[in-house]
Amino acid sequence: MRFGNALGTWLRFFTEKPEILLKWGHWEYNQTWGPTHFNVMNSRDALATKLFVALAIAGAGTRYEADAKAFLDFLRSAKARTAFEKQGFTVLVKSATGT
């Protein structure tokens, strides 16, 4: 639980919400996906990091349970689906939506 609560803080890092906002970049920008480690330097939306954190703590009963669910739900949303399809990530879209 302790580590889940510590990791859960990542879900609001930079965006202040458990979703992808692309405040200072776009889908192709490397800091949207990174970092390659759990260092906060050189990351913005940190999509990959937040995905792993949300999957790891979902259902674990941490105080970030609602954030994990919100982030995963956002990835299933039409807004995210459109952006992923634009980038050619149809496999990820199909996996997240079950289609």
Asked if pLDDT for residue 97 goes beyond 60, the answer is: no
- List pLDDT tens digits, range 14-27: 889 998 877 776 66
For 17-89, where are the alpha helices, taking DSSP H only?
30-33, 47-57, 65-76, 78-86
Mean pLDDT of the chain: 79
Number of domains in the chain: 1
pTM attached to this predicted model: 0.75
31: containing domain: 2-97
- Alpha-carbon distance of 92 to 81, in angstroms, equals 9
